[in-house]
Amino acid sequence: MSYAIATALQEAIYQRLNAAPALANIPVLDALPPGAGQGTFILLGPEDVRDQSDKSGSGAEHRLVISIISDAAGFQAAKAAAVAVSDALLGASGALSRGHLISLTFLRAAAKRLDEGDIRRIDLSFRARVQD
């Protein structure tokens, strides 16, 4: 097992989210913009990687978080974006720039208010199985 496929996996997720028509006007970022950003955006977040190698070859399980952050009133805009993210990613598989994505599945979601209720954040957790 290695962390070697992490960059290729992030690139594939980024490209898939940017190609989703329902997310056309929502920026996909891997760092918070200055001032915590305005509007609605998608933030590629933390991940936890564990070895999943077996006798068929090396592999890893990436547990990753993709966050939707919005300053729109109510949760509607954030939830609509979260649904579009989920729809864009679920069932993804195939070749990466390095390695192969075996599966990408949804694990859980957590919605919360931040900044005294002015910001909404939905954290979507996914499990990606990759093979080198």
Q: Can you tell me the distance from the alpha carbon of 27 to that of 41, in angstroms, rounded to the nearest whole number?
A: 5
- Does pLDDT of 54 surpass 90? no
Q: Can you tell me the distance from the alpha carbon of 129 to that of 127, in angstroms, rounded to the nearest whole number?
A: 7
Task: Indicate the class that CATH gives domain 6-131.
Answer: alpha beta
> In one letter, which amino acid is 57?
G
Q: How confident is the model at residue 28 (pLDDT cuts 50, 70, 90)?
A: very high
Structural domain boundaries in the chain: 6-131
Per-residue pLDDT tens digits for 81-97: 999 999 999 988 899 99
Per-residue pLDDT tens digits for 60-116: 999 999 999 999 988 999 999 999 999 999 988 899 999 999 999 999 999 999 878
